[in-house]
Amino acid sequence: MRVMIKERCMSTSAGLLRQGDVADLPEEEIKKVMKLKPNAFEILPADPVFKRAAPAKKTKKRASNDG
């Protein structure tokens, strides 16, 4: 499961994570931590939703002086 860390610092199976870090952790590990610290994680959606980017603007080319 994808989670965002809300604690200041936390040691997990993915390594040492700090507040605001996003990680994929096993569901069992998340359940164990949530029993002790219910506000330790924010569970994120599995598939992030991507917004469409605006089309790139065309730039005008300057005339060159090849004279």
Structural domain contains residue 10: yes
Structural domain contains residue 37: yes
Question: What's the domain count of the chain?
Answer: 1
What is the full per-residue pLDDT of the chain (67 aa) written as tens digits?
A: 899 999 999 999 999 999 999 999 999 999 999 999 999 999 998 765 666 666 667 777 777 776 5
Which two three-digit tokens encode residue 67?
Answer: 């004279």
pTM of this prediction? 0.64
Structural domain contains residue 17: yes
Structural domain contains residue 63: no
Structural domain contains residue 26: yes
Q: How far apart are CA 1 and CA 44, in angstroms?
A: 8
pLDDT for the residue numbered 67: 56
Structural domain contains residue 66: no
Structural domain contains residue 61: no
Q: Which helix (H) or strand (E) holds 15?
A: strand 15-18
pLDDT digits (tens, 9 = 90+) for 30-43: 999 999 999 999 99
